[in-house]
């Protein structure tokens, strides 16, 4: 059945009008205490499904489920035995026919009032508007007259149980109804709060995603697998600095080869192969020779000793030691000083900045790859040990700075070098 008015349970649960839930709750309590004077007669006897006719199956199923809920409330409140509970179920099933007819009448009446509100251009949320007040009062009044209302069914039940059971059961029923409406109101409030939180979190996630770089916006699989993949990704990125000696993946091997400067070790020449010379066969022993008389010793003059001494080989020229590199922040000063010394033009200055960027990038990558070693060296309490460890760690940086100086020195022309050599040193 199209355009029907919602059932009582659906009506009091409308999320667009949360204030009606409290109004319906108070009305239900009032209906339980003061039932309507003229209840709608119920269909008695026979199969109630045959009397339903062309009723909407969805509406019938909805009310049959509601009958089960209300039957449980009444049975718990009055402490009914199996026979009385079966009789109560039969009565409520018979009242379902009258309930469907009553709901049709109620639907038509409420649609008229809703049309008046829409024609006046009034919002249903405006609880102070007279038309909305009239709509709510009519809704509550018609609700109290439903054949399957708890108060209507309880009045039928009070006439079939002892008076003391009826009095205690009615009081207990009011408590159960109060609890039921409280749970419904709490669930509705929790649902609204959860929906608001989800909307807020979704907006924040969209804003954060818009600010993230594309490398962090890659799609991730849903569920627990996403958390495991993200956690492993974080471990891999951190281990590049915390554990440089671990086996690297292929992608990391390419990064590490470009990050850490390769310092060629001095070539070690292999020793020549040992040649085994065959010894000749031993000759027969010669007869012993008598020793000759000793010769007189002749002492040469002092000048002849000095002249006879072989000349010493000239010492190999020693390479100057690599000077310690200054901090990375001062490498640009050296580049600018070199450019000023030779008078670089714009193209040479661009090349110099490119060289500086390349060498400094490699230096930063090396420091990042040895971050754990640097931290361990800084924690040394002995100044001498700390200085030696830092000096050993900085050797690749010294080599990079030496490479920077050599590459900068290759940029000026011969004429620029001659002019720089003839120029007096700048005053400091």
CA dihedral angle for residue 242, residue 248, residue 249, residue 254, rounded to 10 degrees = 100
Instruction: Answer yes or no: is 26 within a domain.
Output: yes
- Within a domain: residue 299? no
**199 lies in the same domain as 344:** no
Tally of structural domains, the chain: 2
Of the three residues 179, 205, 231, the one that is the final residue of a domain is 205
In a domain, 311, yes or no: no
Residue 348 falls within a domain, yes or no?
yes
Domain boundary among 186, 205, 224: 205
What residues have CB less than 8 Å from 371, skipping those under 6 apart? 241, 242
pLDDT for the residue numbered 353 = 92
Backbone angles phi, psi at 402, to 5 degrees: -65, -40
Burial status of residue 149 (CB atoms within 10 A of its CB: 0-12, 13-18, 19 or more):
buried
Based on the fold, state whether residues 43 and 191 are members of the same structural domain: yes
Digitized pLDDT (tens) for each residue of the chain, 428 residues in all: 333 444 444 444 444 444 444 444 444 444 443 334 334 444 444 466 677 777 788 888 888 888 898 888 888 889 889 998 899 888 988 888 888 888 889 889 899 999 999 999 988 888 889 989 989 888 888 888 888 888 888 889 888 889 888 888 888 888 888 887 787 778 777 787 777 777 777 777 666 656 656 555 555 555 566 666 666 776 676 666 555 565 555 555 555 555 555 555 455 555 555 555 555 555 555 555 555 555 555 555 555 444 555 555 555 445 556 678 888 888 999 999 999 999 999 999 999 999 999 998 999 889 888 888 888 888 888 889 989 999 999 999 999 999 999 999 999 999 899 888 866 555 54
Q: CA 21, CA 424: separation in Å to the nearest integer?
A: 94
- HSE-CB for 355 with a 13 A CA cutoff: 25
Which residue do the tokens 């085994």 mark? 276
Contact 273, 280 (CB under 8 A): no
Give residue 418's domain range. 328-422
Q: Answer with the one of 205, 232, 258 that is the final residue of a domain.
A: 205
- Domain assignment present for residue 276? The answer is no
**CA atoms of 208 and 206, how far apart (whole Å):** 5
Domain assignment of residue 242, yes or no: no
Residue 407 lies in a domain: yes
Give CA–CA dist 80/209, Å, rounded: 60
Q: Is residue 63 part of a domain?
A: yes
Calpha distance 234→242 (Å, rounded): 12
**200 shares a domain with 337:** no
Give the Cα separation of 305 and 154 in Å (integer).
Answer: 141
pLDDT at 29: 43
For position 11, what pLDDT does the model report?
A: 43
């Amino acid at each position: 059945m199209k355009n029907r008015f919602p059932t009582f349970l659906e009506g009091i649960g409308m999320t667009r009008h949360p204030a009606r839930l409290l109004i319906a709750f108070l009305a239900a309590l009032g209906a339980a205490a003061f039932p309507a004077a003229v209840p709608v007669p119920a269909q008695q006897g026979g199969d109630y499904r045959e009397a339903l006719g062309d009723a909407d199956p969805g509406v019938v199923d909805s009310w049959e489920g509601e009958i089960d809920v209300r039957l449980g409330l009444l049975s718990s409140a009055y402490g009914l035995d199996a026979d009385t509970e079966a009789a109560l179920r039969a009565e409520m099933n018979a009242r379902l026919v009258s309930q469907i007819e009553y709901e049709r009448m109620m639907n038509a009446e409420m649609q008229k009032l809703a049309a008046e509100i829409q024609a006046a251009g009034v919002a249903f949320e405006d609880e102070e508007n007279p038309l909305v007040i009239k709509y709510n009062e009519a809704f509550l009044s018609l609700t109290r007259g439903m054949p399957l209302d708890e108060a209507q069914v309880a009045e039928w039940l009070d006439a079939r149980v002892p008076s003391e059971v009826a009095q205690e059961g009615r009081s207990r029923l009011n408590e159960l109804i109060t609890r039921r409406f409280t749970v419904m109101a709490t669930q509705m409030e929790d649902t609204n709060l959860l929906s608001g939180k989800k909307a807020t979190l979704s907006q924040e996630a969209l804003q954060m995603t818009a600010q993230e770089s594309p490398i962090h916006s890659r799609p991730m699989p849903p569920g627990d697998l996403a958390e495991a993949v993200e956690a492993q990704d974080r471990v891999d990125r951190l281990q590049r600095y915390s554990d440089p000696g671990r086996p690297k993946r292929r992608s990391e091997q390419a990064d590490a080869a470009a990050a850490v400067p390769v310092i060629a070790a001095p070539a070690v020449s292999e020793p020549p192969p040992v040649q085994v010379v065959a010894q000749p066969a031993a000759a027969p022993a010669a007869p012993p020779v008598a020793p000759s008389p000793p010769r007189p010793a002749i002492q040469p003059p002092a000048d002849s000793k000095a002249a006879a001494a072989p000349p010493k080989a000239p010492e190999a020229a020693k390479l100057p030691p690599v000077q310690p590199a200054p901090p990375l922040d001062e490498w640009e000063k050296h580049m600018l000083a070199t450019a000023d010394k030779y008078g670089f033009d714009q193209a040479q200055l661009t090349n110099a900045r490119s060289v500086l960027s390349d060498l400094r990038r490699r230096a930063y990558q090396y420091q990042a790859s040895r971050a754990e070693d640097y931290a361990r060296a800084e924690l040394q309490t002995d100044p001498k040990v700390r200085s030696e460890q830092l000096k050993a760690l900085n050797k690749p940086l010294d080599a990079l700075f030496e490479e920077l100086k050599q590459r900068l020195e290759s940029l000026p022309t011969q004429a620029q070098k001659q002019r720089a050599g003839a120029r007096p040193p700048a005053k400091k």
